[in-house]
Amino acid sequence: MSSYTANIPYKWRQLYALTKPRVTQLAVFCAIIGMFLATPGMVPWSVLIGGSCGIWFLASAAFAVNCLIEQKVDAKMKRTAWRASATGEATVQEILILSAVLGSIGSLMLWFFANPLTMWLTILTFVGYAIIYTWYLKPATSQNIVIGGLSGAMPPALGWAAVANNVSPEAWLLVLIIFVWTPPHFWALALYRREDYEKSQLPMLPNTHGEQYTLLHIVLYTLIMLAASILPYVYGMSGILYLISALILGFIFLGYTVKLYMHYSDQLAKKTFRYSIWYLSILFVVLLIDHYV
């Protein structure tokens, strides 16, 4: 624990953890990339700071609601049993107040510092993730992460809308990349955490259809992701620097997933999961560099 977080009162650290800070950071990072790609110049500081914070607060609110809805499921899983929502150290009322405050502040920031379109799109993303995905899709089908992946893929479009006040085809290409990246990313985690999901009784693909079926789908989605990643070049929104980088990064990802399919191990699944995060981050950074070069 860092010295900064150690000085924060225990209850506040518990509530902060319910907002899933690391996942939120990745979402905001993708939104910021979308902001810069939406303009040939620089993003106005008011939009960059106000829009990013607004998306951050609303995403945090959505994750807090996610933890509340899944508190009984989280209590059964080693990975999440420590959460204050699962242990009961954070009450339902406290989590709802946290989510309402964060969501309200985030909505106002997007309205005043970005535009109403961004606010409503972000609220719809909140509802899609916290309610439709968490409450309905996740316990209903093994394809939950595929169907519900659109909510998690929306941040670049939100950032784009904050600057351009529209969501152009280029923004949807960014959403598509994250959408098809999500299944191989998440299923790699689900494979080495399958015992947790077995205890939770959530219908995750490794538990409902087995290891080999899941591994095959990871490879297939990685191939789709590789194809989707070159669309920005095909569409004309990026240059050769991005194309070469996307191919290199994508083939490395494919190498991980093929090796995982042929010689599965939990350790390799963890490495694949970690690389998937680096893959998306580096891919978007290179796309941004290419945009300004």
Question: What is the tens place of the pLDDT at every residue in 234-256?
Answer: 999 999 999 999 999 999 999 99
Residues 172 and 156 in one domain: no
Q: 173 and 148 in one domain? A: no
pLDDT at 7 over 70: no
pLDDT digit string, tens, across residues 91-114: 999 999 999 999 999 999 999 999
Look at residue 16 and tell me whether its pLDDT is greater than 50.
yes
The pTM assigned to this predicted structure is: 0.92
Q: Which of 157-171, 189-203, 204-218, 264-278 bottoms out in mean pLDDT, i.e. has the lowest?
A: 189-203
Select the more confidently predicted residue: 15 or 213: 213
Q: Kindly state whether residues 247 and 279 are assigned to the same domain.
A: yes
Pick 71 or 3 by higher pLDDT.
Answer: 71
> For position 121, which CATH number holds?
1.10.357.140
Q: Of 116, 136, 167, which residue sits at a domain end?
A: 167
**In sequence order, which ranges of the chain are alpha helices (DSSP H)?**
3-6, 10-18, 21-37, 45-69, 71-75, 84-87, 92-109, 116-127, 138-140, 144-147, 149-153, 155-164, 169-192, 194-200, 205-209, 211-229, 231-235, 240-262, 266-292
> Identity (one letter) of the amino acid at 212?
Q
- Kindly tell me if the per-residue pLDDT of 4 is higher than 50: no
Judgement on whether residues 44 and 140 belong to the same structural domain of the protein: yes
C-alpha distance from residue 147 to each of 72, 110, 132, 261 (Å): 23, 27, 10, 23
* Residue 64, domain extent: 1-167
Residues 135 and 26 in one domain: yes
Q: How confident is the model at residue 9 (pLDDT cuts 50, 70, 90)?
A: confident
Res. 13: pLDDT tops 90: no
pLDDT confidence tier of residue 3, bands split at 50, 70 and 90: very low
| CA-based nearest residue to 69, from 48, 38, 92 | 92
Residues 251, 117, single domain; the answer is no
Q: Please say if the pLDDT value at position 181 is more than 90.
A: yes
Q: Average pLDDT in the 120-126 region?
A: 95
Domain end position, chosen among 133, 167, 201 = 167
C-alpha 48/C-alpha 35 separation (Å) is 7
User: Number of folded domains in the chain?
Assistant: 2
pLDDT at 260 over 90: yes
Judge if 110 and 206 occupy the same domain: no
Same domain, 138 and 5: yes
State yes or no: pLDDT of 55 exceeds 70: yes
Say yes or no: 140 and 32 in one domain.
Answer: yes
Residue 20 shares a structural domain with residue 154: yes
Q: Are residues 163 and 179 in the same domain?
A: no
- How far lies 289's CA from each of 55, 282, 283, in Å? 23, 10, 10
The mean per-residue pLDDT over the stretch 148-164 comes to: 94
What confidence score (pLDDT) does residue 8 get?
Answer: 59
Q: What proportion of the chain, given as a percentage, has pLDDT over 70?
A: 97
Does the pLDDT value for residue 148 go beyond 90? no
So what's the pLDDT on residue 137?
A: 83
Average pLDDT over residues 151-166: 96
- Same domain assignment for residues 153 and 240: no
CA 240 to chain CA centroid, nearest Å: 27
Give the residue-averaged pLDDT of 3-29. Answer: 81
